[in-house]
Structure 1
Amino acid sequence: MCTAITLQSEQLENFFGRTMDFSYGIDPELFIIPKNYEWTNFLSNKTISNKYSFMGIGQKKDGMLAFFDGVNEKGFAAATLYFAGYAKYDDEENSMEKESISSLDFLHYILGKCASIKELNDILLNISIKGLPDPVTKTVAPLHWIATDKSGECVVIEQTEDGLNIFKNEIGVMANSPNFKWHMTNLTNYINVSQIQIDNSKWGNVQLKPFGQASGTMQLPGGYTSPERFVKTAYQKTHIKIPKNSLEAINACFHIMESVTIPKGIVVTNRNTDDYTKYTAFVNTNTCEYFFKTYNNTQIIKASLFNNYKDSKEPISLGKLERKVKFEEI
């Protein structure tokens, strides 16, 4: 369970971020991957060299460094979200002529090689995404991806039984299952939702009046399923006042995500584990800055790719996301 959005300011800065909702234990860390960093393709054992440096949130476990989201030096950003019941990866028989990339490495691969959505489109023609068990769940995680660049263009990448597809994402929102086209069609069910108060109505001799403000939003869903989260964030991001600058934009992004942030105990899985929001993170794709907060520390932390970058042959860790809470006293 995760939700992702893009949001642009009046200054045309593009912001991109997500909630990380998960029922398995993870210990996320902020990394910088240097330009020209060489890493091993887990499927082919061949060396891959990154064209661009990037900063991303991920986790290193059992020798594998997998990323959940990130932004590179060119302002290209992307995130991985769960896609249960719909993801279907390639097999060896139908992808021999393409470079095989595991689903766990795909985000690392595109962040290291793409400067724009156009370049992403070109790269997708020549790769095949295959499933690989991850060290956290010990299963082949069903995934799909959302990507954007500093122009604000946004796409969704889904590998299903129909093949590898990339969809233009004009709404700038993504959640989990069903597929992206289903979510976009489902928005039509909420065509009457509005930020404007509905008018009084008369049923026979009975005068009906709205209960205070927000009557135009009564049809909005209130649960935490993927379709409900998609609708809520789509409505909010398309109706929120356009932020004037980067500070207003970051505040707006986190406010939007508050409606889909899941506290512990609200959603419990069949394994009797809590599915809750581990962290919420946004990036300014124009400045390559990260802003994040965690479940246990809601103070927003900021990190810059360029301020923390240094030449290295290895990933640079900026530390765990979980940090000690410090209250400001007055």
Structure 2
Amino acid sequence: MCTAITFQSKQGVNFFGRTMDFSYPIEPKTYIIPKNYVWHNVLNGNMYSDSYSFIAIGQESDEMLGFFDGVNERGFASAVLYFPGYAKYQEKVTKEQKEPVAALDFLHYILGKCGSIDELDGLLRQISLFGVPDPITQSVAPLHWIATDRSGKSVVIESTEQGIKLYRNPIGVLTNSPDFPWHMTNLRNYMTAAPRQEEEVFWGEVPLRPFGQAGGTVPLPGGDTSPERFVRTAYQKTHVEIPSGDTEAVITCFHLMENVTIPRGVVETAKGDCDDTKYTAFINTKTCEYFFRTYDNSEIACASLWDRSGYSKKPVCLGDLARPVSFHKIS
């Protein structure tokens, strides 16, 4: 599970964020990766050098540093989401000239090399994606990605049996399976949803009036499946009042995601584990600031790429997302 969106303020500042919904225990931390950092592809040990510095949320396991979402110094941002039943990677390295990249490394790869959506399009033509078991689930994770930049453009990257596809994402939303074109087609089932409602209709000679407000939202689905979360998020982000400043935009973004956060115990996997929202994060692509809150602490915290950028040649960990809960007493 997981939901991701892009969202623009009246000033045109592009915000990007997601819920991290997962059934496995994770310990996410915030990292700053410096420009020119050299790292190894887990697939074949090839060495890469990051052209841009970036800040990201991720986790280090078994000496492997993987990322869930992030933004680089150019305002290019991306996140990885689960894509079960549809993700398909290349299985065998051939003699073709395309660069083999592990799906687990792909987010790091593009954050370090892409300064814009246009650059991403060109990069995808040069690589092939391969599946490698991750240290958390011990399996090859089925993944797809959403990306955006300061212009507000958004795209979805999916690797299926048809190969790697780059889809323009005009709605600025991504959840999980099915594939992105299916989700966009499915929106047509909810065309009658609206902020306003009919104040009175007649069935024959019988007048019918609403109980209160929100009658126009009755067509919207209420469950937590991927298609339902996609529809609700797409409706709300395209109808919410557009914020006039950065602070108001951040607050609006978190309110939008409250609509799709998963409380612990509401959704269980076949193994009996809870699939809940570990954290919710939003990024200001103009300032490269991260805003996040966790399941156990709803207070919004902030970190910036510029907090520690340029002070190290290796990744800098800014610490756990988890923070002690405190209550401000009013007297």
**Same fold per TM (> 0.5)?**
yes
Partner residue of 2:121?
121
- 1:94-105 equivalences in 2 (<5 Å): 96-105=96-105
Given that residues 57 and 67 in structure 1 are in contact (C-alpha distance below 8 angstroms), is that contact kept between their aligned partners in structure 2?
Answer: yes
SS at match of 1:268: coil
Partner residue of 1:252?
252
SS at match of 1:299: strand
Partner residue of 2:147?
147
SS at match of 2:104: coil
Partner residue of 1:89?
89
Looking at structure 2, the residues matched to 207 and 12 of structure 1 have their Cα atoms a distance apart, in angstroms, of: 45
Amino acid at match of 1:230: F
Gaps of 5+ in 1: none
Looking at structure 2, the residues matched to 115 and 47 of structure 1 have their Cα atoms a distance apart, in angstroms, of: 20
- 1:155-304 equivalences in 2 (<5 Å): 155-304=155-304
SS at match of 1:140: coil
Given that residues 104 and 134 in structure 1 are in contact (C-alpha distance below 8 angstroms), is that contact kept between their aligned partners in structure 2?
Answer: yes
Gaps of 5+ in 2: none
Looking at structure 2, the residues matched to 218 and 329 of structure 1 have their Cα atoms a distance apart, in angstroms, of: 39
* Percent identity over paired residues: 60
Looking at structure 1, the residues matched to 191 and 111 of structure 2 have their Cα atoms a distance apart, in angstroms, of: 36
Given that residues 95 and 128 in structure 1 are in contact (C-alpha distance below 8 angstroms), is that contact kept between their aligned partners in structure 2?
Answer: no
* 1:93–1:58 CA distance, 2 compared to 1 (3 A): closer
Are 1:59 and 2:68 matched, yes or no?
no
Looking at structure 1, the residues matched to 144 and 298 of structure 2 have their Cα atoms a distance apart, in angstroms, of: 27
SS at match of 1:87: coil
- After superposition, the C-alpha distances for 1:61-80 in whole angstroms (9 at most, x for unaligned) are 00111100000000000000
- After superposition, the C-alpha distances for 1:170-199 in whole angstroms (9 at most, x for unaligned) are 000000000000000000000000001124
Looking at structure 2, the residues matched to 185 and 217 of structure 1 have their Cα atoms a distance apart, in angstroms, of: 19
Q: How many residues align?
A: 330
Superposition RMSD in Å:
1.0
Instruction: Quote how far apart the aligned CAs of 1:327 are.
Output: 1.5
Instruction: Quote how far apart the aligned CAs of 1:95 are.
Output: 7.0
Instruction: Quote how far apart the aligned CAs of 1:93 are.
Output: 5.6
Looking at structure 2, the residues matched to 60 and 165 of structure 1 have their Cα atoms a distance apart, in angstroms, of: 29
Given that residues 176 and 226 in structure 2 are in contact (C-alpha distance below 8 angstroms), is that contact kept between their aligned partners in structure 1?
Answer: yes
Partner residue of 1:131?
131
* 1:95–1:182 CA distance, 2 compared to 1 (3 A): farther
TM-score between the two structures when normalised by the length of structure 2: 0.98
Given that residues 133 and 139 in structure 1 are in contact (C-alpha distance below 8 angstroms), is that contact kept between their aligned partners in structure 2?
Answer: yes
- After superposition, the C-alpha distances for 1:15-57 in whole angstroms (9 at most, x for unaligned) are 0000000001110000000000000011221210000000000
TM-score between the two structures when normalised by the length of structure 1: 0.98
Given that residues 93 and 100 in structure 2 are in contact (C-alpha distance below 8 angstroms), is that contact kept between their aligned partners in structure 1?
Answer: no
- After superposition, the C-alpha distances for 1:219-262 in whole angstroms (9 at most, x for unaligned) are 11111000000000000000001110101100110000001000
Looking at structure 2, the residues matched to 136 and 270 of structure 1 have their Cα atoms a distance apart, in angstroms, of: 18
SS at match of 1:104: helix
- After superposition, the C-alpha distances for 1:274-307 in whole angstroms (9 at most, x for unaligned) are 0000000000000000000000010000011112
Amino acid at match of 2:109: Y
Instruction: Quote how far apart the aligned CAs of 1:312 are.
Output: 1.7
SS at match of 1:234: helix
SS at match of 2:298: coil
- After superposition, the C-alpha distances for 1:57-108 in whole angstroms (9 at most, x for unaligned) are 0000001111000000000000000000000001226673210110100000
